[in-house]
Amino acid sequence: MSIDPTRATAAQMADALASGETTSVALTRAALERIAATDGDAEGGIHAFLHVDAEGALAQAEASDARRAAGAPLSPLDGVPVAVKDVLATTGLPTTCGSKMLEGWVPPYDATVVARLKAAGLPILGKTNMDEFAMGSSTEHSAYGPTRNPWDTTRIPGGSGGGSAAAVAAFQAPLALGTDTGGSIRQPGAVTGTVGVKPTYGAVSRYGLVAMANSLDQVGPVTRTVMDSALLQELIGGHDPLDSTSVVEPLPSLVEAAQQGATGDLTGLKVGVITELGGDGYQAGVRARFTEALDKLVAAGAEVVEVSCPSFVHALAAYYLVMPCEASSNLARFDAMRYGIRVMPESNDSPSAEAVMRATRDAGFGDEVKRRIILGTYALSSGYYDAYYGTAQKVRTLIQRDFDAAFESVDVLVSPTAPTTAFKLGEKLDDPLAMYLNDLATIPANLAGVPGMSLPAGLAEEDGLPVGFQILAPQLADDRLYRVGAALEAALEKEWGGPLLDQAPEVATLTSTEGALR
């Protein structure tokens, strides 16, 4: 059996490499050709990548093939190419975070997850587009132009990790890394028909991740199948002495959990449907696919009950206080002195460092970043601190208690990942609050540090666009996501006759008259 070098899953690619049917160079070259043919630029194409490293990726692929030929030890994904979100530090490759502030910055060190990818022999194809400093739900806040959804290039690919999700959905890469602070892995996964996992807080190192909100940020896998996510999370996860918030105890085997789930038997599993994350405000097609997915879980032997998490109604407000407070503090590091751009103020012959800082931060940051810095500065100011930041932290406690109580009676919690399918580019760009509402269902997991997965549940009949199904588990029980996710994926793919992405329209290639510079 021969595999398609771009459409195969990462697990299939790994098998084909092991059997000698293909080489890492062949797979990497196929991915690079696909990127060249479909990615375009800010004006047209998918625009999932900000930087493509063909030379570096092919060199890594050759090294992997050479190790294999020599019989050297190999990782389970050795030779399978991967894309990395541009918020993760990579030596030798620009890391801009989608911001003008870091235009051209090449980090002097690798993020731990990047170092682990390299050590495991995965060729890094390039860096993917994102909302500036991971702030947004559409990738439209990238200073380098938006990414387009492979299902419909007039629509958003989600955000902030729209580039990673679109690259995987458009078969430019079998695997990608994302980061999730309020849903930036899961919501792009939902709207592009891909699988995205936010691991337990601390289960994957954040060293070398340019921080937005330290108590919420988490690195995780973006893939086309549940098994591929399990393989990738196992590879990047585990304790890292360089990240003091990294979890020391190992997680249960995620790959075994996915294998177990793929048998389709969920007998004895209790699933809780979160009352507060559904119903009104959720698009009809999203609700329909969600309900059908629940039926599949029941058919697999699971018991489905409704669970109320009353404090979740305050999660969005708490998040949009905690996150800007942490972000305003984190982004103070962009001071035009040690890295990034430096902009000299006009009409000043000998400006002070502070004047340079102010001019640089005005020129270097986009609107959404400025909004959040100012909002955070406001909420942290004396007189408002207790009412805003203090209250938000207490609400965080209530949300954790809701999760604790729910997980006493059920094994996993479920909800739609996002209230709607992909909206049109530009539709919510000047209405920040409407944009924030997209994160309604994903935010509680970040506030509580629990793991969450989004996987495709089908297409909404009203617009033919992908719907995401979210699974949440207790801290350190990431394996439950993979067991339930793999079981649901198997049941749904049986009904669809294959992966959901088989139903996606062919991505226009830029050499065709239709696709080029539309």
Partner 1 sequence: MPDITRDEVAHLAALSRIDLSDAELDHMAPQLSVILDAVASITGVVGDDVPATSHPLPLTNVFREDVVTPGLTAEQALSGAPEVEEQRFAVPRILEEEA
Active-site residues, by number, are 85, 160, 184
Measured CA to CA, the distance from residue 317 to residue 58 in angstroms comes to: 46
CB of 187 to partner 1, least distance (A): 19
Distance CA 82, CA 235 (A): 12
Which residues between 73 and 102 bind partner 1 (CB under 8 A)? none
* Whether 84 contacts 115, CB under 8 Å: no
For the chain, the residue count is: 518
Structure tokens at 1: 């059996």
Site for partner 1 in 262-321 (CB under 8 A): 314, 316-318, 320-321
Q: What are the structure tokens assigned to 426, written together?
A: 């530009």
Smallest separation (angstroms) from partner 1 to the CB of 360: 9
β pairing state of 303-307 and 270-274: parallel
Q: For partner 1, which residue of 268, 280, 338, 383 counts as binding (CB under 8 A)? A: 338
Q: Which of 219, 236, 293, 392 binds partner 1 (CB under 8 A)?
A: 392
H or E segment and range at residue 304: strand 303-307
Considering only 29-37, 48-56, 335-343, 499-507, which stretch makes contact with partner 1 by CB under 8 A? Answer: 335-343
Shortest spacing between CB 510 and partner 1, in angstroms: 33
CB of 302 to partner 1, least distance (A): 27
With respect to partner 1, which residue has the nearer C-beta, 415 or 475? 475
Pairing of strands 175-179, 219-223: antiparallel
CB atoms within 10 A of CB 62: 16
Q: Classify strands 195-198 and 452-459 as parallel, antiparallel or unpaired.
A: antiparallel
Instruction: Specify the amino acid at residue 336.
Output: A
Residue 123: exposure state from Cβ atoms within 10 A (0-12, 13-18, ≥19): buried
Residues 357-376 that bind partner 1 (CB under 8 A): 357-359, 361-362, 365, 367, 370-371, 373-375
Stretch that binds partner 1, among 38-46, 188-196, 205-213, 332-340 (CB under 8 A): 332-340
36: how many CB neighbours lie within 10 A of its CB? 15
Among 220, 340, 366, 419, binds partner 1 (CB under 8 A): 340
What's the rounded Cα separation, in Å, for the pair 218 and 98? 18
- Cβ neighbours of 426 (radius 10 Å): 12
Q: Which residues contact 74 (CB under 8 A, 6 or more apart)?
A: 64, 67, 68, 121
Strands 124-128, 49-52: pairing is: antiparallel
- Which of the residues 227 through 256 are near partner 1 (CB under 8 A)? 241, 244-245, 247
Tokens representing 276 are 């507060």
Token look-up 């094994």 returns: 411
Q: Which of 281, 301, 305, 394 binds partner 1 (CB under 8 A)?
A: 394
Contact code string over 22-41 relative to partner 1, x by CB under 8 A? --------------------
Q: How far is the CB of 441 from partner 1 (least distance, A)?
A: 17
Q: Which is nearer to partner 1, 151 or 320 (CB)?
A: 320
407 binds partner 1 (CB under 8 A): no
Task: Show the beta-strand stretches assigned E in 397-482.
Answer: 412-416, 452-459, 466-472
Distance, in Å, from the CA atom of 44 to the CA atom of 293, rounded to the nearest integer, reads 35
Min dist CB 109 to partner 1, Å, is 7
Question: How many other CB atoms sit within 10 Å of the CB of residue 389?
Answer: 20
| Interface segment toward partner 1; rule CB under 8 A; list 66-74, 287-295, 387-395, 477-485 | 387-395
- Smallest separation (angstroms) from partner 1 to the CB of 397: 4
Q: With respect to partner 1, which residue has the nearer C-beta, 138 or 421?
A: 138
- The residue among 316 and 465 lying less far from partner 1, judged by its C-beta, is 316
What phi and psi values does residue 453 have, to the nearest 5 degrees? -130, 145
The only residue of 19, 291, 352, 511 in contact with partner 1, by rule CB under 8 A:
352
Closest CB 440 distance from partner 1, rounded Å: 12
Q: Which parts of 420-439 interact with partner 1 (CB under 8 A)?
A: 432-433, 436
- Backbone dihedral angles phi then psi of residue 280, each to the nearest 5 degrees: -55, 140
The torsion defined by the Cα of 334, 337, 339 and 344, in degrees rounded to 10, comes to 90
Q: Which is nearer to partner 1, 47 or 198 (CB)?
A: 198
Between 401 and 494, CB nearer to partner 1: 401
Q: Which of 475, 421, 216 is nearest to 320 (CA)?
A: 216
The piece of 137-145, 176-184, 257-265, 386-394 that touches partner 1 (CB under 8 A) is: 386-394
Q: How far is the CB of 223 from partner 1 (least distance, A)?
A: 24
Pick the closer one to partner 1 by CB: 140 or 228.
140
Q: Which is nearer to partner 1, 107 or 193 (CB)?
A: 107
Q: Which stretch, 29-37, 168-176, 261-269, 448-456, contacts partner 1 (CB under 8 A)?
A: 448-456
Question: 262 or 445: whose CB is closer to partner 1?
Answer: 445
Q: Within a 10 A sphere around the Cβ of 201, how many other Cβ atoms?
A: 23
The smaller minimum CB distance to partner 1, of residues 106 and 490, is found at 106
Q: Smallest distance from the beta carbon of 308 to partner 1, in angstroms?
A: 16
Please give the C-alpha separations between residue 322 and each of 212, 234, 315, 394, 461, in angstroms, as whole numbers.
Answer: 11, 29, 10, 11, 37
Centre a 10 Å sphere on the Cβ of residue 66 and count the other Cβ atoms it contains.
11
Contact status: 202 vs partner 1 (CB under 8 A): yes
119 lies in the binding site for partner 1 (CB under 8 A) = no
Letters for 204-223 (x = contact with partner 1 by CB under 8 A, - = none) are -----------x--------
